[in-house]
Chain A
Amino acid sequence: MVASTPSPPNRRDPPESLLIRTAQVGTGVLNTIRVPGDPFRDERKSWFKTEFYSGKEKKEMPTIHEGNEVKYLIDGKDAFKEMVAAIRTVTGISDTGEKANHFIYMLNWWMDKEFELDSDEPGVNLSLLLDQASQKGVMVRAMLWNQPFTTQNSAEVDYINSLDNGAAILDNRGNEDLPPFSWVGVPFFPMRFGAQHQKVLCVLGEEGLICFCGGIDFNPDRVQELGKGSPLHDVHCRIRGPAAADLVHLFIQRWNDHVEGQKHNQPIALGSKGPLITLKELPLSAGPQIVQVGRTFGDLNYEFASGGEQTAREIILCAINNAKRFIYTEDQYFVGNPQVEEALFEALKRGIQHLTVVLTH
């Protein structure tokens, strides 16, 4: 068998079942290679969990993916610049000149389509980018939070629905039980508190799948001075590689679990904008990083998350429990999670050298 020519992993690697890495080694001397990943050993000592207990019920953790490139984006300016670049990779045309199934999928708590995303490019906003994509035949889908008693996201949903290849949903899962409370002088009151805060952008374009997740909404207060504390500090990340497929999977699950999304799975002749484009294969390896995508869902009758899902919390707990030198955490709220607080105290008792908690004020 002839060994292949070494090359670093990138998105153009041919599909194969092995994760490719390259090591330069010398002859006649000892070389040491660290094998990354998740060597089989005591589960409690592993950075990545494969299962956890919810009460007495054993549940599986999300898949652990090797071979990813994760780029951390601090604050809106860097995040929006990368997101604009990603959205521009959609052409609707394949390398061979045929129509390509490119898509843009978005989950957001807040979306403002009119503000300037990048101060280096005057006039470039989300409405322009999505319109250009739709005109190229690219599927545009968005699921935006329906905040009670506001028109938040309404104009954006209407706009995307007006695009030839666009469809959008106002999602109110968790706030749909709004019975009248007129006898106490309040016309409506949410029965459940909470909102779906996921901020995800998935783009399949000519450079393959590029996904984003984190804390940054399409909101001008992330890049402009619009009041106290703005532009707001937050963190986002760009993921390429197999783990990005989990974010597409998340979008598909939420879309197909919503009655409005299901309507679009009907034939186009019945008024649908067409069912979602799905991935035919996992993205190829794009870097050295190992990624597990955790999520949070309340117990809100999601078909794909019966009883809710707190895998994001499990990943955070796992990281805290495995910390050896320091823990640095920033959080807007940092309340209502006694397990995390307990884990931090345990880490201090264990003897980590630094614990830094940054809170908002």
Chain B
Amino acid sequence: MIKTLKIRLINDLDQPIKMSKYLLEVDNQTFEGITNNEGVLQHDIPVGAKTGKLILDKKLFHRRKNPTDEIKVENWSIDLQIVDSMAPGDQMAGAQARLNNLGFFASKEIHEQYEEQTRRAIQRFQTAHPPLKVTGNIDQETKKRLEDVYGS
């Protein structure tokens, strides 16, 4: 049994990260590939997979001068927590997950609590996506826009 994992990568200008090499590690499998022109990677993964790691090519980033040469940021990686269905965007857990992934840093852990950090993240998202009203709350317009931007 397999299920499909589909991820679109964007940069901080909201542009797709095209034709970029990556490694995707899920359970004991490693997938290697290149994102397509929409910045998307897609793989069939085992049904039971709960975690994974996505590692991006270091050529994406400036080489960073490091005075001590002891720790080098050569790649960029992200740990994946894989769920079968994400909560809807108007539920707190669904909003936090989407906002975090879009770089708005809504919460360190995904949960149902509505906290100050989440409120500010919602505000930042609303500010970045006019004409949304900046309230810090997930109204229907914000939910729809968040799901549109996120892709689901």
Which residues of A line the B interface, CB within 8 A?
Answer: 1-8, 15, 17-41, 45, 47, 50, 60, 63-66, 242, 245, 249, 279-282, 288, 325
By the criterion CB–CB under 8 Å, are B68 and A282 in contact? yes
Answer whether A37 and B74 are a contact pair too, CB < 8 Å, given A24-B81, A27-B5.
no
By the criterion CB–CB under 8 Å, are B76 and A18 in contact? yes
B: interface residue count bin: 35 or more
- CB within 8 A of A35: which of B3, B76, B127? B76
Q: Counting CB contacts under 8 A, is B26 at the interface?
A: yes
Q: Counting CB contacts under 8 A, is B152 at the interface?
A: yes
List of A residues within 8 angstroms of B102 by Cβ: 32-34
By the criterion CB–CB under 8 Å, are B11 and A34 in contact? yes
Return A119 CB to nearest CB of chain B, in Å.
Answer: 24
Q: Interface residues of B: mostly helix, strand, loop or mixed?
A: mixed
Kindly list 20 other residue pairs between chains A and B, CB separation below 8 angstroms, not including A3-B51, A39-B60. A3-B26, A4-B53, A18-B55, A20-B79, A22-B81, A28-B4, A30-B40, A30-B150, A31-B5, A32-B7, A32-B102, A33-B8, A33-B9, A34-B10, A35-B12, A40-B61, A40-B62, A63-B64, A64-B62, A245-B68
By the criterion CB–CB under 8 Å, are A27 and B83 in contact? yes
Q: Counting CB contacts under 8 A, is B132 at the interface?
A: no
Which residues of B line the A interface, CB within 8 A?
Answer: 3-14, 17, 25-28, 30, 40, 45, 51-56, 59-62, 64-68, 70-86, 97, 100-103, 105, 108-110, 127, 149-152
- CB within 8 A of A32: which of B77, B78, B150? B150
Smallest CB gap from A281: residue in B: B70
- CB within 8 A of A63: which of B6, B11, B66? B66
Return A305 CB to nearest CB of chain B, in Å.
Answer: 15
By the criterion CB–CB under 8 Å, are A4 and B10 in contact? no
- 3 smallest beta-carbon distances between A and B, as pairs: A30-B151, A29-B152, A26-B86
- 7 residue pairs bridging A and B, Cβ less than 8 Å apart: A17-B74, A20-B79, A24-B101, A29-B151, A30-B40, A35-B12, A63-B67
Query: In the complex, what distance in Å separates the CA atom of A6 from the CA atom of B110?
Result: 12
- CB within 8 A of A8: which of B75, B103, B109? B109
Answer whether A25 and B27 are a contact pair too, CB < 8 Å, given A35-B17, A281-B70.
no
By the criterion CB–CB under 8 Å, are A25 and B7 in contact? yes
List of A residues within 8 angstroms of B127 by Cβ: 325
